[in-house]
């Protein structure tokens, strides 16, 4: 039986919340997979500059931003606040 390795958590997420818009357009699976990736330090579809910024932010305790796409192609973000108290799932237009 082949199992995918479980991602290692490198980000403390705090309380996880989502905007009503994100909950209406994303599946629970889309959200769960993205949260697991974000927590493991896989920033998704960010450009190289934002990837470097996230890597620095992880070390220095700044805000983290990941960008993902749902199975139906909807772009969404996951933002973890600098104090790691809250992680928000949202669509770009919710920002």
Closest by Cα among 83, 71, 86, 84 to 34: 71
Whether 43 is covered by a domain: the verdict is yes
- Total domain count for the chain? 1
Whether 89 is covered by a domain: the verdict is yes
Whether 34 is covered by a domain: the verdict is yes
Q: What's the confidence (pLDDT) of residue 6? A: 57
Whether 10 is covered by a domain: the verdict is no
Whether 5 is covered by a domain: the verdict is no
The C-alpha angle with vertex 36 and arms to 48 and 65, in degrees rounded to 5, equals 35
Q: Which domain holds residue 29?
A: 15-94
Summarised one tens digit per residue, pLDDT across range 14-37 is 999 999 999 999 999 999 999 999
Q: What's the confidence (pLDDT) of residue 8? A: 74
Whether 8 is covered by a domain: the verdict is no
Rounded-to-integer distance, Cα 91 and Cα 76, Å:
4
Higher pLDDT, 14 or 3: 14
Residue with tokens 């009503």: 20
For the sheet with 64-69, list strands across it. Answer: 15-18, 86-90, 75-80, 64-69
Whether 6 is covered by a domain: the verdict is no
């Amino acid at each position: 039986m082949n199992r995918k390795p479980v991602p290692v958590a490198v980000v403390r997420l705090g309380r996880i919340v989502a905007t009503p818009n994100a909950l209406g357009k994303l599946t629970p699976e889309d959200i769960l997979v993205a949260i697991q990736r974000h927590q493991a330090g896989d920033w998704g579809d960010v450009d190289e500059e934002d990837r470097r910024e996230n890597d620095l932010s992880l070390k220095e305790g700044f805000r983290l931003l990941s960008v993902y796409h749902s199975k139906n192609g909807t772009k969404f973000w996951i933002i973890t606040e600098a104090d790691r108290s809250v992680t928000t799932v949202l669509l770009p237009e919710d920002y």
